[in-house]
Amino acid sequence: MTQVVADPPLAALSAADPGAMLALPGGGQLAVKRCGRGTQVLCLHAVGHGSGDFADLAARLGDRFELIGLDWPGMARSPADAGGVRAEHFAGLVIEAVDALGLDRPFVIGNSIGGTAAIIAAAQAPARFAGLALCNPGGLSRLDLPARLIIGRMAAFFRTGTRGACWYPFAFAAYYRWLVLTRAPARSRREAIVRHAVPLAPVLADAWEGFGKPSGDLRSLAPRLSLPVWLAWARGDQFVSWGRAKAAVATMPLHRVTLFRGSHSAFLEDPNAFAAGFRAFVHDVQTGNFQ
């Protein structure tokens, strides 16, 4: 897999900090950006995005938090690796990154595959994290026939993009406008991603093919999440719907659910409400009032 640079200067969590490359214990490398001081928050982005997704949130949260944004392999500034676009691979990288960065039980914000990776990492190593804020994570609904059909069609759509179909960039732009980042606050982020429609196609095809594999079903991990979990769900999601995920969420021992305006990323599409909800989540966990 070649590296896809889909994060323009907006990616910087701090304009004064271009970021650094983190060497992982397992031999890989991830681009990382840090901003602010205070409670540590590890930020994990969706497929084809980058740590720039969290730039606006960093500004909204102010100086009480330190946001640490990772770029997944082959996306934004991180070099590709041999692991593929798989949540279980990313989960291992998350645990390695926490150790390599010396983070002390950070909170995690995980969106889409970032949320899926956070679930796996927290199930494997719960003591490393203080709590999870999961934004439309995959893996919490049944891989039944309708789900497999949709996954197969989406993988085929992105494979068409890898073959250079002339109509693909326009279809990709419509897909993001009407199905992924639909609300006005996410416009600049959406446009940054859409500009890289063609180079992102193989990354997205690989990801969607992985979503349909048995390992993509994480429902059995939900009861094993022993730490506080806040489900910050964009309620308009047509692919990772709340209705199909809520049964698995109900098995999480310690969780809270908030539904937001938007289609896939509450912190981008409903930023004021998300920032307020995240502050409340962290406060309640730190004061022992989360229930």
187 is written with which tokens?
């416009």
Phi, psi of 45 (to 5 degrees): -95, 175
Locate tokens 């229930």: which residue?
Answer: 291
Residue-level pLDDT at 11: 35
Predicted pLDDT at 3:
45
- pLDDT given at position 32: 96
Residues in contact with 54: Cβ distance below 8 Å, sequence separation at least 6, in sequence order: 13, 43, 45, 67, 69, 109, 267
C-alpha atoms less than 13 angstroms from C-alpha of 245 in its C-beta half-sphere: 28
Strands of the sheet with 65-70, listed across from one edge: 20-23, 29-36, 65-70, 39-44, 107-111, 131-135, 229-234, 255-260
- Dist. CA 82–CA 79, nearest whole Å: 10
What pLDDT is recorded for position 291? 84
The architecture that CATH gives domain 9-144+219-286 is: 3-Layer(aba) Sandwich (3.40)
Say what the pLDDT of residue 63 is.
80
Cβ contact 260:232 at 8 Å:
yes
Residues in Cβ contact with 255 at an 8 Å cutoff, skipping those fewer than 6 apart: 225, 228, 229, 230, 231, 249
What span, in angstroms and rounded, lies between the C-alpha atoms of 243 and 157? 25
131-135 vs 107-111, strand pairing mode: parallel
> Which parts of the chain have pLDDT scores under 50?
1-16
Integer Cα distance of 31 and 21 in angstroms: 4
Q: How far apart are CA 8 and CA 18, in angstroms?
A: 11
